[in-house]
Amino acid sequence: MNKVVKNLGLYLVLVLVVVSMVNMFLTPEEVQRQYDEISYTEFIAKLEAGEVRILQIRNNTVPGESSSATLQGEMKNGQRFLTYGIDVSGIADKAVAKGITVTFEAPQKNTWLMSLMTSLFPTLLLIGVWLYFLNNSQGGGGRIMAFGRSKAKLFLDNKPKVTFNDVAGCDESKEELQEVIQFLKNPDKFRKLGARVPKGVLLVGPPGTGKTLLARAAAGEADVPFFSASGSDFVEMFVGVGAARVRDLFEQAKKYQPCIIFIDEMDAVGRHRGAGLGGGHDEREQTLNQLLVELDGFDDTSSTILIAATNRPDILDPALLRPGRFDRHITVDRPDVKGREEILKVHMKDKQFADDVDTGILARRTPGLVGADLENLVNEAALLAARHDKDRIGMDELEEGIERVMAGPERKSRIISDKEKRIVAYHETGHAIVAKILPGSDPVHKISIIPRGHAALGYTLQVPEEDKFLMSKSDLMNRIAVLLSGRVSEELVFNDVTSGAANDLERATQTARQMVTQLGMSDTIGLVKLGNKREEIFLGRDISEDRNYSEEVAYKIDQEVKSIIDSCYQKAKTILSERRELMDKIAGVLLEREVLDAEDFDRLMNDDKADMPEDLPEIPDGRIDILPNTNRDFLA
């Protein structure tokens, strides 16, 4: 009803404005433009000369003013004239005596309504503009006079249709949310037993694991109103706006109980307090304080559940995480093999696939990928199938989709010289042979010297047979040896090295340093953890490291890291030196085909009689040009 009244008032103001505009601008001046204005003396002269044919007299006299009149008409030559006079009572008699047609027009009456509108037009215009903005400001939080209103979207009849059947790969997380859903459906069941249902649920996990989807599914399962907001929606440039929006959000939620409030990217508003450079009380802290008050303000009869999601739980304020606020922390981790297979089935159910598609194989070949990656993988495969004019998505498209997600699209247009192509082939062959020989290494799934993405000139793809959650010292040493084997192969074949192993060296050094300083895998340093990362909340992560060790220990760390790198390098060099002919054979086949799958690679490794290509280019002599840092090997 209020909306109808406001609209009627707005339309009334607009009508008054239009009438006032007509009254102001459609004046007799519009009519006067059709006549030639002449002086009164000239008019008398033409009247005496008998040149006037028609005369119209309009009395303009206003009470309290002197008598005046408007004289207009037409000459015998067709000219239309207009003039003004005072006390023209005798003009009509003279005109009639000369046989001129004379007419009189009654004075125009200016009604009180028109006078009122004319005088009040500026005021009415300002009032109309003010009412317009006031009316619009009630509809959203981003308009004028509504900064303090919440930006959260309310879903009632249009609430998410997603249910737990649409969420896969996180069975434990769904079980944790079942109690929340049961409370929203039947709160009396818990209150009779004196149970207190969690006021807040915090979903924690890496990006893309399905935290937002899980919250939407919880709302769909509970079939209750759903408020959705982002942490960044609360913070504005104006002081106090964030706290006002938090208050408004919870006030709205009380009207729709039972309901769910979902805040995505909670770290945007819930960061640790007192982390500013000046230690001051900023706008973000005021917003967080209000959020803490609202969470504590829930009474025992409240049926409002707050669900938040973040991938940075380490920077959240401790007061936000204590029991009574976010009582339950649910980890939504990367899916395992079984979870990845279930996620693939969810994304594949509405698409047409060939009979040879095996989700189990795809799940084993996608270690470390999250739900968002798997959805993108299936979509890439569908796009490739459509590009090839296929009516079904085959295993080839899905395999290519995996590589596009993990290493980027192929760049066949990048022209590589034969010399550089040969270097890349030996580099990747070195990775593959050492990974095949060393026990415990992940099996080689594919070798390619086709450029991919923005940086990779080639890559060796290793796919683990099963998910690993623990890494032994020998596993890490073997991984470093595999990383360094590309550099070893360049040195053995070309007696020189290139910049193509820059990323390999970076990853190998990082792994070795973690073994020494964090994992206690050094006999020289011992079972200690050295170095504490110092994270400034508003300056970024890991801007510095708090060195809790002396310079002498730092020197020992560097020497131990170098010792590990040198040991792994010698291990890779020994393996490749003993298999130099095998390396030449595999590199030659790779140069010819550009891509080797696992079956072809295993056959070449096991069959010493495999023939080498006849058109294998000769090994260049002398030094070679240093390549830019572009050969980035993607090892799963």
Catalytic site positions = 428
d(CA 206, CA 331): 9
CA torsion angle 386 387 390 391 (round to 10): 10
> Could you tell me whether strands 200-204 and 328-331 are parallel, antiparallel, or unpaired per DSSP bridges?
parallel
Distance CA 482, CA 479 (A): 5
Which residue type sits at 133?
A: F
39, 45, 41, 50: which is closest to 76 by C-alpha? 50
Would you say 308 and 260 are in contact if contact means Cβ atoms under 8 Å apart? Answer: no
Report the run of H or E that residue 322 belongs to, with start and end: none
Query: How far apart are alpha carbons 94 and 473 in whole angstroms?
Result: 126
Q: Kindly report each contact of residues 16-23 with a partner whose C-beta sits within 8 Å and lies 24 or more positions away, as own/partner.
A: 16/117, 16/124, 16/128, 17/121, 17/124, 17/125, 17/128, 19/117, 20/117, 20/118, 20/121, 20/124, 23/114, 23/117, 23/118
Cα–Cα distance measured from residue 274 to residue 318, given in angstroms and rounded to the nearest whole number: 12
Output the CA angle 595-596-597, nearest 5 degrees: 120
Helical segments of 408-546, H only: 418-437, 473-494, 502-517
Which stretch of DSSP H or E encloses residue 375? Answer: helix 371-387
The strand pairing partners of 56, in sequence order, are 72, 103
Non-local CB neighbours of 339 within 8 Å, separated by 6+ positions: 168, 169, 170, 171
Q: Exposed, middle or buried, 97 (CB in 10 Å: 0-12/13-18/19+)? A: exposed
Rounded CA-CA distance 204/39 in Å is 90
| Nearest in space to 590 (alpha carbons), one of 350, 339, 359, 421 | 421
